[in-house]
Amino acid sequence: MDDNKNMQDGLKRRDFLKVLGVSGAGATLTGCSTEEVERLLPYVVAPDDITPGVSTWYTTVCDGCSAQCGMWVRTREGRAVKVEGNPNHPVSQGGLCAKGHATLQHLYHPDRFPGPMIREGSELRQVAWEEAESLLAARLSSAQNPMLISGRMGPSLNELVNEFIEGIGGIRVSYDAISDAPLAEAARIVYGTAGIPQYDIENARFLLSFGNDFIETGSSPVAHTKGLARMSSVDTAGSKGRFVYLGSRLSLTGLNADKWIPIRPGTEAAVALAIAAVIAGDDPEVAGPYSNVLQAFNPQVAAQAAGVTEDAIFELAEDFASQAPTLALGPGVGAHHRGATAANIAVMILNHVAGNVGRTVFYDARMNGAMSAYADIEATVNAMASGESDVVMIHGANPVYSTPPQAGFAEAFAQVPFKVSFASALDETSEMADLILPDQHFLEAWGDSSPLAGVFAVQQPVMQPVPHFESKQTGDVLLSVANRLSGEGDVTTFYDYVREHHRSAHNDADGDFEDAWQELLRTGMADTRSEEASALELQSPEVALSFEVPTFDLPGDLTLLVHPSPRFGAGEFSNSPWLQELPDPVSKIVWHSWLEMNPHTAELRGIREGDIVTVTSPHGSLEVPVWLYPGIREDVVALAMGGGHTGMGRYADDKGVNALNLIPSISEQLSGALVTTVTSVTVIPTGEKRRLATVEGSDDQHDRMIAPAVALADLGHAGDDEHEEGGHGELRELQGVGGFIPVPADEGAPTAFPLEGSRHGLYAEAQEGPRWAMAIDLDKCTGCSACVTACQAENNVPWVGEEQVLMGREMSWVRIERYYEQVDATQAADLDVRFLPMICQHCGNAPCETVCPVFATYHTPEGLNAQVYNRCVGTRYCANNCPYKVRVFNWYDYTDAVPEPLNWQWNPDVTVRANGVMEKCSFCVQRIREVQNRAALEDGREVRDHEVVPACEQSCPAEAIVFGNIRDPNARITQVSASERTYRVLEPLNTQPAVNYLKKVTFHEVASVGHEE
Amino acid sequence: MSLVPEGPTARGAVPHPDVHTYDEVNRDVLRALETPGKGWWALLAVAAAGVVLFFSAWGWQLYKGIGVSGLNSPVGWGVYITTFVFWVGIAHSGTLISAILFLFRSPWRQSIYRAAEAMTVFAVMTAGLFPLIHVGRLWHAYWLIPYPNSRFLWPNFKSPLVWDVFAITTYFTVSATFFYLGAIPDIAAARDRATGLRKKLYQVISLGWRGTDSQWHHFGKAYIFLAALATPLVLSVHSVVSWDFAMAIVPGWHATIFAPYFVAGAIFSGVAMVITLVVPIRKIFGLEAYLTTKHFDAMAKLCLLTSLIVLYAYLSEFFLAWYSGEEIERTAFWNRLFGDYWWATWTMLVCNGFVPIMLWFRRIRHSIPALFVISIFINIGMWFERYVIVVTSLHHEYEPFAWGIYRPSLTEMALMVGSFCWFGFWFLLFTRLLPPIAIAELKEVLPAPTRKKTGEAY
C-alpha cells in the first residue's frame, strides 16, 4: 500500500497514528489495487514506533459487547498480537473476558469479506469501493423509506448515522440480540431515569441475584466479575460478603453463589416483593407508591409460587435487612419472561426498601447498555414484508440468525429489493445482502465509546487494516456516500469526525485540545464523572403493573430456559475457534450444543447423558444431546444461544443447534424485549446417542483435596484441627527418613528452592536469582475462563477441533477444573462448587523432569520447569508422570490448520510447536525475559515486583492470580502466599509446586478431608 | 510319523527315546531346511502381508503424525508400549532356557532352546521397534543414545527410558551373539549337506567350523561364558523395563514388586510363546521324536510356576492397595477391576491366573493340543496384563478432572497385529535357514555310538 512508502520516511508518532487512521480512506482515494507487486523490503529508515522485536502498545476500547471495556493492544512489527485489559479504565478496571480476547481472531478472520461485494444472481462479485459506494448512493437517492438496522455503536458513529439517516429521510431501527430493555424500562418507570443502573457490587456485603448472570452477560461482565470477586472474597479482617442466587438454573454466576434458592422460573417478582414486604414490616410506606404492591405479597404466597419454603424467604429477608449494604439484581438478559420488567421493578422496590439506592445501585449513572426493544424489529419485519422500504441497510447485527425463525425476519428481508450489509465478515444476514460494504474491525478503525455518563474512551486503530481485506470503516463509507448524494465532495474522514465530536465537547478552560486529545489516545479514556449520587424517589407507575407469575406456552412438561452463552453471547462470537474450543465454564463442553437437564428428571425419563433428544415446543423442535446438570431445577431444561449457525463461517456453521428455533417471536409487553423464557417443551429420546465433547473427566474430587475449602468460622484457627494438614503426619515422618520433607503448608512458607541437597550443577548458581511463583486465590476465582483464552492468545496454543477433543486431546495450557461439592436443586441450600485453574505447577521437585530421557524438560535456575520444544523427542513419559496432568502433546501439526491470515495473530516471541512435541504452561517465560532484558538495559536495575505479569494474571477479571518472585519478602506473591489458606495441590507427593492455591472460604462447615479413614 | 523303526524301549533319563543315532539327528533336523512345503509358503505369505501392513501403518503414522493413534491426555502410552513390553517379555524365556537351564544342566532344554533363542532374538527385534513407533519424533530418537556431540548434551541418565535403551540393546547384542555362537556347529553340519548358494552362505557363517577338539574346547568355554553373561540379563532386562513404570509416580505403577513381577511374567509369557511356536514346528517338520511330551511337560510346569508367581503378584497388588489405606491407590485398583477397562483386567486374570490352573493335571500337561490352546490363552492374557498396567493406571490418575478414556485406533491395531507378522516372518525364515533343533547338543545326550551296528555314520 502507498502508506508503506510514507512509513519509510520516518514519521513522528503522532503522524503515524494519523496514517493509521486514514489509511482506509486513503486506500480508497488513491484507488489502491491488488495488482501491486509485493516485494520484501527492509525498513531503510525505520518508523519511530516500530523497533523489530520490541512491542508497541496502544490503548483502545473493546467493541466486543456493550460493556466497552478498556483495552491495551500489543503490536509487534505493525501487527496486533494480543489484547489485554486496561487497568486504568474506570468501568472495567483491567482484566478482559474470553470474548474480548477472541476479538483478535475476528480481526484476522479468514471469513472476513475480501472487499466490497455486489450480488449478481446467486454469486457475489468483488468490486472496488468506488463502484460499491456509487451503487449505494444511486440506490439511496431514489430509495423509498430507506431503513438502517443497527446494533451497538459508539457516540460519534451514532451521531453520524443519525445525521445520515436524517439526510436520506430514512428510518433507523436499533437491534441488540441480547438486550437489557426490561431493566432500562423498569428504571424509567420507577425512577424516570435513562440508561441502565450501575451497580457497586464490590461494596455490597450481601448480594442477591434473581437469575441475573451479571458476570457473564449484561451491562459489564468484567467489571461485575471484579466486583463479585472483591465482594465475596475474604478480606484481611476475615470478613466476606455473601452471595445468594435465586433462579431455576445455576449459570456461571450462580455457581459462584454461597447459597442457591432454586425458585421456579418467573417467580422473581413474588419473592423479591415478599422479601421487601418482610423488610418493610409494618411500614409499607417506605415503598411509596408501591406500598399496596408490598401488601399484596407475603412470604407464604411467594414461597408457594417459587416452590421453596417460607423459612428460606424469611431468612433471606432477615439477612438482607441486617447485612447492609446489600444489593439485589433483577433478572438479567438471560431470564426474560413475560413479566421481566415487572420482576425488575420488584427488585428495584426491594433495593429501595433496603436503602440501597445511592449506596450500591445508581440509577442516575446513565450506564450504556444494549437496551433496544425487540418490538421494533417486529415492526420492521412487517414494514419489510409489506414492501414499505426498498433499501434496508444492516450494521452490527445479524437478525436473520438472532431472531426466532417465527419472526419471519429472513423471509421479509428477502423481499427487500436492495439489501445492504456493513458486516465485516460473513454471517446469515450478510449472506442475503445485495451489496456488502465490509466494515473494519474495531482494532483497525476509529471510534469512541461512552460506557457511562461522563466517561469517554477513544477507540483508536492499533494497526493498518489487515491487507487481506479491502475493508473500510462504516463511518468513512457513510461520509463518502453522503458527499456523493449531496454532491459537495469535500471528503472528511471519520477520524476527523470523531475528533470533531470530542473537540466540541472539549472545554478550552481545561487546556489545549490537542494535548487533551493526545492524552486521551495515550490513556484510552477521559473520566469527567461527578462524584455525587442523587437520592431518587420512587415514582408512581404510569402503566398497569402485574407481578403475577407469567405464563409459559403449553403443551410441555418442562420449562425451557434459553440463555445467552457465556462464550458466544447470542451467537456473534461463534465463529471464533478459540471460543468454540474454550470449555463452557458451566458444562465444560466444546464445539456443540447440549440440553441441560437435572439428573433426577433424566432418570425418571430413562434418559442418560449423551442421549440425543428431540426437544419440542409449540413453536419448533430440534435434536440435541443431553448433559446432566445438578444445578438446574427438575422442572426446567436449558439451552444456550450461539449454536446452529448456517452461514457464519468455517468455525461456526453446523456446530450445535440454535435455541431460538424453539421460542416464539414475542416481545415483552412493557419493555418490548424478546421473551426467551417463554415456553415449555417436551423432551423425547431419539434413541441415538453421542459422546459429549467435554474436557471434564470427573466432577467429583474423590476426597483428594484438589480444591479444598475452609469454613469462614474456622479461619484464624489453623492448627486447632488436626485434619488441617490433611492428616499426613506419618507420611511426613517417612519422607523425613528419605530426606524429602515437604515444606509445611500450614505455615504458608514459600516453597524451599532449590531443594535441600540439590545444590549442584545449574542449581549451584541458583542461590541469588528469583524463584518465580504464582498464587491463585480460589476464593476469588469465578471460573470465567478468561485466562484460558488469554493464554491461548499469548502462547500460540492451537485449537484442535471437536473430533480431537472427543479423543481427549485438547491443547489448552490452563484447565479450569469444576468440582461439585454441594448442589441441591430441590430446596434452598448452601451451594458449594469449586473452581480451580490448573496449570503447570513448576514443581521444585518435578516428576516430569527426572523421566525425560533427553532433558527436554528441565529446571531453570529461576525455578521454572522449562520445556525445550526443539529437544523433545515425544516419549510422553513426562505427561504420564505429571500428577497434575498439565502437559499437552502435539499429536499433529495443529498449527498447519490455521488459515492465513489467522496466523498473523501468533505471538512472535513464542515458538509455534511442531508435530510430536510436548508443551505446557511456561509461566509466560517470554514475558519474564522481556522484562529482565528491559531491566538490564535500564542500567541493570532489578526487576520490580509485579513488573512481570503473565497473560493469565493480566486477563483475570477477578484478580485471583498473583505472580512474582517468591524469594522477595516484600513481593505481593510472598505476602499473598503467606495466607493461612495457602495450600498446594497434591502436596503429599512432595512435588513442591511453585503454584500456591488459596482455599475457597465457605460460610457453611466444610468436611475435613484427609487421607486417613 | 515314525522316523525310527525300532529302538530300545527304556532309556532311563534319556530324553529322546525314539532317536538312536547321530545320523538320524542330522537327517531329521536338517531335512527341515530342504523342501519347503506349501504350508510354509502360505504362512510366509501371510507373514509378509502382515509386514507390509506393519510398515504401511507406520509410514502412515509418520506421514500424518502420532495422532493417528488413539493416544491422548492423560493416556500417553497405550498399545505401542503394551506391545513393546509384551515382546520384551516374550524375549525372556529364550535366554532363560538356553543360558540359565544350561548352567543348571537341565536335561530337557536341548530340543527347544534353538527355537527359543531364535524367538528371543526376533522378539527383541520386534520389541525394539515399538519405542521408535511410539515416539512423537522418530527422526530425533537417536538423542536417547549417549554419543559425543557439539551440544555437550548427554541423555538424562536418571530417566528409565535411557536405562531401557541400554537394557534392550545389551540384551539384543548378547542374546544374538549367544544364539549365533550356539548355532555354529549346527551351521557347519548344515554346510556339509547343503549345495550351491546355501553352501556358500553356510561356509561363511560357520566360521570354518571343523569339529576339532580344540574348536570344541574353545566353543565350550565361550558358550559357558556367554551363558553366564546372559543369565543376569534375563533378570535385568525386564526389571529395567518394569522400572519404566515403577519409577513413575503413577498410582498402579509405583510399586516395589514390579521387577520380580515383570520377570516372572516375562518368563511366563516367553515359555507360553515357545509352546505356541514349537508345537507347529514339531508337527510341520516331523520332529515328534525330538520334542517329546517330556519337554512339553517341563515347559508346562515352568508355566504353572510362573503363573502362580504372577497371580500372587496380582493379588498382592490388590491387597496392598487396600492395605495401604491410600485412597488414590485404592481407587486405582478398584478402577482396574470394575472401571472402564474391567474387561481387560478380567481377561488378564482369567487367562493368566485361572486358565493355567489346568496345568496342575498331568493329562493336560501331556496333551499337546491342550497345551497349545492354553499357551494361546496365556499369550493373550499377558498382552492384556501390560495393557491393564499401562492404560488403566494412566486413565484415572491423580487429578479427577483430567481423567479420560483411551480407545486404540485402527493404526495401532494394525501395528500390533503387524508386529506378530514381522516376528513370524523372521521366525519362518529361521526355520528354513538354521537347524531349528540344536543338533550338536542333542547328540550329546544320545548314547554313545556302539560298534554293534557297524557301518553307520557318526
pLDDT digits (tens, 9 = 90+) for A353-397: 888 888 888 887 777 777 888 888 888 898 888 888 889 999 989
Average pLDDT value for chain B: 86
A609 touches chain B (CB under 8 A): no
Rounded Cα–Cα distance for residues A126 and A438 (Å): 11
Q: What is the pLDDT of residue A775?
A: 92
B140 touches chain A (CB under 8 A): yes
Q: Which residue of A has its CA nearest to B406?
A: A807
The answer to whether residue B2 sits within a structural domain is no
Whether A916 and B74 lie within 8 Å, measured CB to CB: no
Q: What is the pLDDT of residue A736?
A: 45
Q: What is the pLDDT of residue A364?
A: 79
Q: What is the pLDDT of residue A817?
A: 94
Residues constituting chain A: 1013
Work out how many domains chain B is built from and give that number: 1
Rounded Cα–Cα distance for residues A364 and A289 (Å): 20
Residue-by-residue DSSP string for B154-168:
---TTSHHHHHHHHH
Rounded Cα–Cα distance for residues A554 and A679 (Å): 7
The answer to whether residue B25 sits within a structural domain is no
CA-based nearest distance A908→chain B, Å: 24
Q: Which B residues in the span 262-321 are in contact with A, Cβ-Cβ below 8 Å?
A: none
Q: What is the pLDDT of residue A785?
A: 92
In degrees, rounded to 5, the angle at the alpha carbon of residue B264 between the alpha carbons of residues B262 and B270 is 95
* Interaxial angle between packed helices B258-284 and B213-246, expressed in degrees from 0 to 180 and rounded to the nearest 10: 130
Q: Residue range A258-280: average pLDDT?
A: 89
Q: What is the pLDDT of residue A321?
A: 87
Query: Which amino acid, residue A112?
Result: R
B141 touches chain A (CB under 8 A): yes
Whether A881 and B249 lie within 8 Å, measured CB to CB: yes
Residue-by-residue DSSP string for A362-386:
EEEEEE------HHHHHHHHHHHHT
Reduced to 3 states (helix: H, G, I; strand: E, B; else coil), residue B304 is helix
Instruction: Give yes or no for residue B213 having a pLDDT over 60.
Output: yes
Instruction: Give yes or no for residue A56 having a pLDDT over 70.
Output: yes
Residue A623: pLDDT band with limits 50, 70, 90: very high
Domains of chain A: 2-107+443-471+492-527 (2.20.25.90), 118-179+374-436 (3.40.50.740), 181-367 (3.40.228.10), 558-689 (2.40.40.20), 709-1002 (3.30.70.20)
Give the position of cell 486447632: A720
Rounded Cα–Cα distance for residues A715 and A589 (Å): 35
Top-confidence range, A453-462, A483-492, A606-615: A606-615
The answer to whether residue B429 sits within a structural domain is yes
The answer to whether residue B435 sits within a structural domain is yes
Residue A850: its chain B contacts at CB < 8 A?
156, 158-159, 247
CA-based nearest distance B361→chain A, Å: 43
The answer to whether residue B10 sits within a structural domain is no
Instruction: Give yes or no for residue A730 having a pLDDT over 70.
Output: no
Q: What is the pLDDT of residue A108?
A: 93
In degrees, rounded to 5, the angle at the alpha carbon of residue A500 between the alpha carbons of residues A498 and A504 is 120
The answer to whether residue B370 sits within a structural domain is yes
Residue A758: its chain B contacts at CB < 8 A?
none
CA distances from B96 to A875, B110, B178, B183, B232 (A): 30, 13, 12, 17, 10
Q: Which B residues in the span 356-395 are in contact with A, Cβ-Cβ below 8 Å?
A: 394
Rounded Cα–Cα distance for residues B275 and A636 (Å): 64
Instruction: Give yes or no for residue A921 having a pLDDT over 90.
Output: yes
Q: Residue range A316-345: average pLDDT?
A: 87
Whether B137 and A872 lie within 8 Å, measured CB to CB: yes
Residue A190 contacts residue A214 (beta carbons within 8 Å): no
- Residue range of the domain that includes B72: 37-147+161-445
CA distances from A332 to A204, A242, B133 (A): 18, 20, 55
Residue A876: its chain B contacts at CB < 8 A?
71, 76-77, 136
Query: Which amino acid, residue A20?
Result: L
Q: Residue range A194-221: average pLDDT?
A: 88
Higher per-residue pLDDT: A1000 or A1009: A1000
Q: Would you give the DSSP letter of residue A288?
A: G
Q: Which B residues in the span 30-69 are in contact with A, Cβ-Cβ below 8 Å?
A: 64-67, 69
Residue B387: pLDDT band with limits 50, 70, 90: very high
CA-based nearest distance B57→chain A, Å: 16
Rounded Cα–Cα distance for residues A60 and A443 (Å): 8
Residue A123 contacts residue A431 (beta carbons within 8 Å): no
B217 touches chain A (CB under 8 A): no
Q: What is the pLDDT of residue A532?
A: 65
Q: What is the pLDDT of residue B437?
A: 80
How many whole angstroms from its chain centre is CA A254?
Answer: 16
Biggest CA–CA distance in chain A, Å, is 92
Q: Which A residues in the span 695-734 are in contact with B, Cβ-Cβ below 8 Å?
A: 696-704, 706
Choose the weakest-confidence range: A795-804, A909-918, B97-106, B250-259. Answer: B97-106
Higher per-residue pLDDT: A245 or B294: A245
Q: Residue range A508-521: average pLDDT?
A: 82
Instruction: Give yes or no for residue A924 having a pLDDT over 90.
Output: yes
Q: Would you give the DSSP letter of residue B96?
A: I
The answer to whether residue B434 sits within a structural domain is yes
| pTM score, whole prediction | 0.88
**Residue A68 contacts by C-beta under 8 Å, 6 or more apart in sequence?**
A61, A62, A91, A368, A449, A450, A451, A457
CA-based nearest distance A757→chain B, Å: 16
The answer to whether residue B18 sits within a structural domain is no
Residue A835: pLDDT band with limits 50, 70, 90: very high
**Residue B218 contacts by C-beta under 8 Å, 6 or more apart in sequence?**
none
Residue B72: its chain A contacts at CB < 8 A?
807-809, 891
Q: Which residues pair with A681 in a beta bridge?
A: A558
CA-based nearest distance B203→chain A, Å: 43
Q: What is the pLDDT of residue B449?
A: 61
Reduced to 3 states (helix: H, G, I; strand: E, B; else coil), residue A728 is coil
Rounded Cα–Cα distance for residues B355 and B378 (Å): 8
Q: What is the pLDDT of residue B8?
A: 37
Q: Which residue of B has its CA nearest to A987?
A: B398
Residue A854: its chain B contacts at CB < 8 A?
140, 143-144, 153, 155-156
Cell numbers given for B98: 538356553
Instruction: Give yes or no for residue A794 having a pLDDT over 50.
Output: yes
Q: Which A residues in the span 16-45 are in contact with B, Cβ-Cβ below 8 Å?
A: none
CA-based nearest distance B63→chain A, Å: 10
Q: Which of A853, A883, A917 sits opposite B137 (nearest CB)?
A: A917
Choose the weakest-confidence range: A328-337, A879-888, B325-334. Answer: A328-337
A850 touches chain B (CB under 8 A): yes
How many whole angstroms from its chain centre is CA B341?
Answer: 26
Q: Tell me which of B60, B72, B134 to substitute to probe the interface with A (most A C-beta atoms closer than 10 Å).
A: B72
Residue A262 contacts residue A825 (beta carbons within 8 Å): yes
Whether A889 and B153 lie within 8 Å, measured CB to CB: no
Residue A102 contacts residue A579 (beta carbons within 8 Å): yes
Q: Which B residues in the span 221-260 are in contact with A, Cβ-Cβ below 8 Å?
A: 244, 247-250
Task: Render pLDDT for B216-247 as a digit per residue (tens, 0 to 9).
Answer: 899 989 988 888 888 888 888 889 999 999 99
Q: What is the pLDDT of residue A735?
A: 46
Task: Render pLDDT for A536-593 as a digit per residue (tens, 0 to 9).
Answer: 788 888 888 888 888 888 888 899 999 999 999 888 899 999 999 999 999 999 999 9
Residue A542 contacts residue A189 (beta carbons within 8 Å): yes
- Pairing mode of beta strands A772-777, A961-965: antiparallel
A875 touches chain B (CB under 8 A): yes
Choose the weakest-confidence range: A40-49, A767-776, B319-328. Answer: A40-49
Whether B144 and A854 lie within 8 Å, measured CB to CB: yes
Instruction: Give yes or no for residue A848 having a pLDDT over 60.
Output: yes
B328 touches chain A (CB under 8 A): yes
B324 touches chain A (CB under 8 A): no
Rounded Cα–Cα distance for residues A357 and A288 (Å): 14
A888 touches chain B (CB under 8 A): yes
Higher per-residue pLDDT: B25 or B11: B25
Q: Tell me which of B82, B249, B409 to substitute to probe the interface with A (most A C-beta atoms closer than 10 Å).
A: B249
Rounded Cα–Cα distance for residues A470 and A455 (Å): 33
Q: Which B residues in the span 153-212 are in contact with A, Cβ-Cβ below 8 Å?
A: 153, 155-156, 158-162, 165
Q: What is the pLDDT of residue A1008?
A: 57
Query: Which amino acid, residue A687?
Result: G
Q: Which A residues in the span 977-996 are in contact with B, Cβ-Cβ below 8 Å?
A: 986, 989
Residue A234: pLDDT band with limits 50, 70, 90: confident
A804 touches chain B (CB under 8 A): yes
Q: Residue range A202-214: average pLDDT?
A: 90
